[in-house]
Amino acid sequence: MNEIIKSLHEIVAVLKDPKDFWVNITLAISTFIAVIVALFQEKIKKHWNKATLDLRIDLNPPDCHQISLIDLRTGKFVGQSIYIRIKVIHRKGGAGENVEIMPINFFRIKGDGKLEKLKHFLPISLAWSHFQPRTNLSRIPVNLFRHCDFGHFVKDLKDNNKAVLILDTMVQPNPVAESEVPNIIKPGKYQFELLLSGDNVKPIKKEWKLEFDKWSEDEKEMLTKNISIEEI
């Protein structure tokens, strides 16, 4: 005990700030931070440079409009269609990289208002508009936007007064049980969910209500009367 008391002044001196002590500590901390930044700089950049995007559906040209369908093999006119596009808007942060949109759920709204999941529906990524070859991944530049094809309405071949919706999925799925095609939606009332994600993007999930029934060759009538899409 006496030895400890005798050496107490030396211990206190060390604690008070020996020569170069804080300099060495500062250098050690700086070196540690530099190593961490070097090892994880890409992850750090992605974290601080995340893109904030938004998506909306506006039933007005140029987001949605009538397009004449042409048989690519023969060049002949096939029929009219009403294209519905999702507008993906850059809000802040860096450019969105490898952005993808997928319809993840599709429900039929029954007469009592309850939701019934479409059994034949398959969640498949949508194709981006105006890209050749077709792609399900896109870059959203800073302060700009891109369009993604949600789907297009065409005349029902079995009933020319009715419309059907064909979702513009990246691949065309094969018929499933009861010969139902997963990306073909028949007339009725629906609720659907879209999920947007990407490499450096904050994921977004939004829901809409959809209602359609009649077909018309008139673009304005289809977009203002025959088709209703409302964000929830």
129 neighbors 55 (Cβ within 8 angstroms): no
Examine the domain organization and report whether 27 and 80 are in the same domain: no
Shared domain check, 94 and 32: no
Same domain, 115 and 165: yes
Based on the domain organization, do 86 and 201 belong to the same domain? Answer: yes
Rounded distance between C-alpha atoms, residue 167 and residue 78, angstroms: 18
Which residues in the chain show pLDDT less than 50?
4-5, 8, 11-12, 14
| pLDDT number for residue 26 | 73
Residue 8 is predicted with a pLDDT of 47
Residues 164, 109 share a domain: yes
Structure confidence by residue, pLDDT tens digits, 25-44 = 777 787 777 776 666 666 65
CB 152 within 8 A of CB 83: yes
For position 45, what pLDDT does the model report? 60
The 10s digit of each residue's pLDDT in 60-77 is 999 999 999 998 889 999
Q: Do residue 43 and residue 56 come from a single domain?
A: no
* pTM for the predicted model, two decimal places: 0.79
Cα separation, 182 vs 118, whole angstroms: 9
Supply the range of the domain harboring residue 213: 52-231
Domain identity same for 8 and 69: no
CA dist 59 and 51 (Å) reads 26
Residue showing tokens 């070196």: 31
Identify whether residues 164 and 103 lie together within a single domain: yes
The domain total for the chain is 2
Outline where 107-226 has alpha helix (H). 219-221
